[in-house]
Amino acid sequence: MIFVSRKRTSSKRTPTGLGHRFVSDRVIIIAVITVGIMIILAMIAFVFVVQPVATRENGNGVLIICSAFIAWVSLLANVWLNRRQARAQQTLQLLSTVRLDREYLQFAKAFREILPTPGEVMPKHVLDLILNRQADGTPRNAPFNESEKAFRQSASFLLNFYEMVAVATFRQDLDAHLLQRTIRGNVIRLVITCSPWIAHTRRPAGKDKAWEHLVWYYHNFALPSDLPEGLERPEDLDLGPVPKL
């Protein structure tokens, strides 16, 4: 398998170039509404305080206020359309990266060499490989071969990459519906496969922020049909603490 693919503003970048500023729709809408209200209040003050009485009586004042309101509605519509278009373009860029980016494809290939079955929970010896320990839990002394080195790097890369995808989805910077029809299953299968590592990393106190948006994505988009044998509900999969976003 090839893994294809409302808060404050932040700026981050993945190794494959998914970099931009995240701004939630809520922030944009509130900002536009606030500006619109200020403009309309300014027009009302201008008409009823600055303009002479004759202007108000002949209806020009009402015309000025209505013009300001229409301009504000047009601004709101333009912002919404531009936001929608930007979200679609960013999502298509992500999908292109997942299918064509050489670095991404190399990491995906290295990952599959150790874990060729998507959606199956990684066995304990693979988790020991990632954590650099032996079967009894003691530190590993033997050096890694090239395949093991590539796998360790690829597992970290893929989880961090899709953490950024989940962040962008959570902050409404990507088209969640388009992602759901394209790479949703691959993201969910990656989380299931790496769930022992995710749970091990997030379980200690103060470590629950690790991959929290990826866990959020799983809890919101996983289906019972995605689960491996032995699990009936998405919440039955141990991923450490449930994110509080």
84 pLDDT band, cuts 50/70/90, is confident
Given this model, what pLDDT does residue 107 score? Answer: 93
80 pLDDT band, cuts 50/70/90, is confident
Is the pLDDT reported for residue 23 higher than 60? no
Q: For the chain, what is the mean pLDDT?
A: 82
Choice between 36 and 129, residue whose per-residue pLDDT is larger: 129
The residue-averaged pLDDT of 166-181 equals 89
Residues 141-159 pLDDT 10s:
888 899 999 999 999 999 9
Given this model, what pLDDT does residue 160 score? Answer: 95
CA distances from 106 to 53, 126, 151, 191, 232 (A): 74, 19, 10, 19, 33
Given this model, what pLDDT does residue 32 score? Answer: 73
Count CB-CB contacts under 10 A for residue 151. 22
Can you read off the two tokens belonging to residue 191? Answer: 């989380």
Given this model, what pLDDT does residue 53 score? Answer: 65
Task: Name the range with the highest mean pLDDT among 10-19, 121-130, 170-179.
Answer: 121-130
Is the pLDDT reported for residue 39 higher than 80? no
13 pLDDT band, cuts 50/70/90, is very low
Given this model, what pLDDT does residue 57 score? Answer: 62
What is the SS3 string spanning the chain?
CCCCCCCCCEEECCCCCCCEEECCHHHHHHHHHHHHHHHHHHHHHHHHHHCCHHHHHCCHHHHHHHHHHHHHHHHHHHHHHHHHHHHHHHHHHHHHHHHHCHHHHHHHHHHHHHCCCCCCCCCHHHHHHHCCECCCCCECCCCCCHHHHHHHHHHHHHHHHHHHHHHHHHCCCCCHHHHHHHCHHHHHHHHHHCHHHHHHHHCCCCCCCCCHHHHHHHHHHCCHHHCCCCCCCHHHCCCCCCCCC
Count CB-CB contacts under 10 A for residue 207. 13
Given this model, what pLDDT does residue 123 score? Answer: 94
Task: Name the range with the highest mean pLDDT among 65-74, 113-122, 154-163.
Answer: 154-163
pLDDT-wise least confident of 20-29, 85-94, 108-117, 209-218:
20-29
Given this model, what pLDDT does residue 6 score? Answer: 35
Is the pLDDT reported for residue 201 higher than 80? yes
Q: Is the pTM of this model over 0.95?
A: no
Given this model, what pLDDT does residue 15 score? Answer: 39
Is the pLDDT reported for residue 172 higher than 50? yes
